[in-house]
Structure 1
Amino acid sequence: MATLTRESEDFLEDLAEELSVPVSRYEQAERSYKSLGEWLHRDASTVREYGPQVYVQGSFRLGTTIRPLTEAENYDIDSVCELKKISKSHLSQKDLKELLGKEIKSYHDAQNMIKPVGEGRRCWVLEYADGAQFHMDIVPALPNAQSVRLFLEQSGHDARWTGTAIAITDNEVPTYPFVTDHWPHSNPKGYSDWFRSRTVVILERRKRKLAERIHASVEEIPDYKVRTPLQAAVMILKRHRDETFRDRPAVKPISVIITTLAAHAYNGEETTGRALVSILNGMDEHIAVVGGRHWIANPTDPLENFADKWEKHPERADAFFEWLARARHDFQQAARASDRIVIAEAVGQGVGKAVAERARQRRQSPVGSPLLKTASVAPAGIGFSFPDKERAPSKPQGFGEP
């Protein structure tokens, strides 16, 4: 067992800070989707009567966004535009996408945006000016809670998160041009509620402390101004993933898989280092095998498998386990060290030397400081302990064959 030293704990906290997105980016994202929402509610809007609601999804909603690898890369702000007062029985996916597309294009023109509106498989894309360094994907959606809840309950699955389920558009599915009840579905609000539930106690406690320090109410503190150990650990693992697969992007594990497994394996640890220990030790235990296939269930829809591409592309499954083994090795090397230079070198192999060096320099100690000579050991029982034998995922209770 490798001991998690105080110096490695501090370094991981500093690393998360280096990877974090400036608060201004979260505020920028918030201003952008609120501005679009206001446009859709203006008097002349063709969708105003349908109750449009624009909100952010993905890593910006979860608080796990990390800085791009290079300055040339953009932040990808994923958002949803849900028309609350219309249903799938009134229009097709194609109708919805075109209806919203007209308004997004008029918004683009009114804002004097230079780059043309792009169209993705499921969304419209607003490209902001080069200096802004971000673009916003807007997914058209309709409420879908009743359909998803009924389906899950009839299948004997947990339906507690379905109140915010949505139906979305996808121009590659056969039903795209037809009025039908069969739409692709998603639930970004439900997923973020589940993710938040895994760390809500620490989040609320940290928000209270911040509120006291700045003399504000807890309600005035947005979640993105407080980072929990789970969020920090996910950010570090995502950067390690990005560096590991810098030259093999086609097989790199997708963020929702890392985020879901990390949240399952997290056990309420109070620091980033301890959270990382728990997550790396246990995240593969939450990969099931159902009908001979790897299965990583969407917590808000147990019938959706985040690892569904692994069956057709087994190299992606191999890549995940390869990455997990490397992450365990890199962070285990760092965990037992008490010299920040040694820690930075070990972690830098996985997350990148430049960002690791910046993290190292955040707490420069004077030459000869005892901090560089004597390990500050975490309490007994805290450490990296990875199994020597390969774990075999098992089929969880309550899962039916898909």
Structure 2
Amino acid sequence: MYADQRTIMRNAQLVGVLERLCQGLELTDSQFELAKARYDAVGRWLAGAEDRLIHTVLIYPQGSTAIGTTVKPIGRIEHDVDLVSHVAEPDQLISPATLKFAIGNRLRSNGLYAPILEEMGRCWRINYAGEFHLDITPSIPNPGCPKGGVLVPDKALRSWTPSNPKGYKTLFLERAKIMPQMRLIKSMAAMDSARSVVEPYPEQVSFKGILPRTVQLSKRHRDIHFQELDPSLAPISVIITTLASRAYEFCALNTVYDSELDLLCDVVRHMPHFIQVDTSSGRRQWFIWNETTDHENFAEKWNADPRRANAFYTWHAKLLADLESLTHIEGLDLLTKRLGSAFGSTPAARALDGLTEPVSAARRTGRLVAAPAVGLSVAAVASSTSVRANTFHGSDSS
């Protein structure tokens, strides 16, 4: 019984560490509000144009900004903020290149945006140095999508291709709200009648949302994994998000878990199950469909370059192995090393500070105890031995 309870308590602590790690990677509330103010201003400027092509334009976020799964890119400070510039009443004959050109002209006419405007393949980028950059992709309504989808430029700007940022956001957030089935397990101290709790154990930190955190951890692990490999083969974020979303729904509705960490690992384990693999004429093809519009295959590039599919499966196996190994690590040094290898040394160190500080404070005040089968704890329980305070130099303090 003690071994099981010890694992449960360790997993709860690990969840707290991973939660803090995610918090350090995402847009803060103030950053999000600043980004929103910035893209609202861009929207107002575009809508005020005399050019009738864009006078009905509406700016709204898509991707990770919209669903709360942003992850700071490695090697730079700026976050990516993806936006859609949607023209609700376009000319029937408007081409992607024409609409993109009109949007660019309007942005260049603003003295604030012109110096920080950069043209990308399918969108315009406004660079706010040290903060974030706004990627603005043109779109028009898709009359062939009953789910309210849109059309966005293809890579060459020669034709429109289906997408549905708003529908995708709605589906993701609906799945994120699904409450997982968790066993109600009492604390070890409460289950052992031979112990009496003198001081309550600190409340454990939970994931702000298991699905969003699964996506963030997966994306960060991907960025670290491909840092020394070919980054062009890394799975795009929408593939990770889509597979995690579908896997979370399946796991949350069909399995009962002991801890959030168990659920996290199981969601990652099931992600490849939602990839459709077909073999035609001896050639393998992969399909990860956008459930909110027809004919959008997020794995389209895999079929042009199978190395991308192989890279996904190799990375996925490493992600799962790294997450599962966390529950077996003994000692803070090994945990620090493993988290740093998987998610980056700086975010890992900052996240672990939240775990070690309460222990250090308890040691300084004499509240740190060594309880059987648990290890170091700040809860004073019967049958526990006090740990003498020490200084940062390792000697006992008087």
TM category (shorter chain) comes to: 0.7 to 0.9
Shift of 1:306: 1.2
Query: In structure 1, what is the equivalent of residue 122 of structure 2?
Result: 122
Cα deviation, 1:93-131, whole Å, max 9, x if unaligned, reads: 222222222212123x2x26533x222221122222x34
Q: Which runs of 5+ in 1 are unaligned?
A: 150-161, 177-181, 204-225, 377-402
Q: Relative contact order, CA 8 A, sep 6+: which one is greater?
A: 1
Query: In structure 1, what is the equivalent of residue 266 of structure 2?
Result: 278
Cα deviation, 1:209-244, whole Å, max 9, x if unaligned, reads: xxxxxxxxxxxxxxxxx9411111111111111001
The one of 71, 78, 95 equivalent to 2:98 is 95
Shift of 1:50: 4.1
SS in 2 for 1:304: coil
Equivalent residue pairs, number: 324
Q: Partner amino acid for 2:123?
A: C
Q: 1:325 to 1:170 in 2, by over 3 A?
A: closer
Pairs within 5 Å for 1:355-366: 355-364=347-356, 365-366=359-360
Q: In 2, Cα distance between the equivalents of 1:14 and 1:91?
A: 47
Q: In 2, Cα distance between the equivalents of 1:280 and 1:256?
A: 15
2:168 is the alignment partner of 1:167? no
Q: In 1, Cα distance between the equivalents of 2:372 and 2:220?
A: 26
Pairs within 5 Å for 1:3-402: 5-42=11-48, 45-47=50-52, 50-70=55-75, 72-87=76-91, 89-107=92-110, 109=111, 111=112, 114-115=115-116, 117-128=117-128, 130-131=129-130, 133-144=131-142, 146-149=143-146, 162-163=147-148, 165-170=149-154, 172-173=156-157, 176=158, 183-201=160-178, 227-248=208-229, 249-266=231-248, 267-268=251-252, 273-291=261-279, 292-337=284-329, 339-364=331-356, 365-366=359-360, 367=363, 369-370=369-370, 374=374
Q: 1:171 to 1:342 in 2, by over 3 A?
A: closer
Q: Partner amino acid for 1:93?
A: P
Structure-2-length-normalised TM-score: 0.74
Q: Which runs of 5+ in 2 are unaligned?
A: 181-206, 377-398
Cα deviation, 1:249-271, whole Å, max 9, x if unaligned, reads: 12111111111111111134897
SS in 2 for 1:114: helix
Q: In 1, Cα distance between the equivalents of 2:329 and 2:316?
A: 21
2:72–2:78 contact (8 Å) kept in structure 1:
no
1:240–1:327 contact (8 Å) kept in structure 2:
yes
C-alpha root-mean-square deviation of aligned residues, in Å?
Answer: 2.8
Q: 1:94 to 1:372 in 2, by over 3 A?
A: farther
2:26–2:71 contact (8 Å) kept in structure 1:
yes
Q: Partner amino acid for 2:302?
A: W
Q: 1:9 to 1:47 in 2, by over 3 A?
A: same
Q: 1:294 to 1:352 in 2, by over 3 A?
A: same
Q: Among the aligned pairs, what percent are the same residue?
A: 31
Q: 1:372 to 1:264 in 2, by over 3 A?
A: farther
Q: In 2, Cα distance between the equivalents of 1:281 and 1:233?
A: 11
Query: In structure 2, what is the equivalent of residue 179 of structure 1?
Result: none
1:64–1:235 contact (8 Å) kept in structure 2:
yes
Structure-1-length-normalised TM-score: 0.73
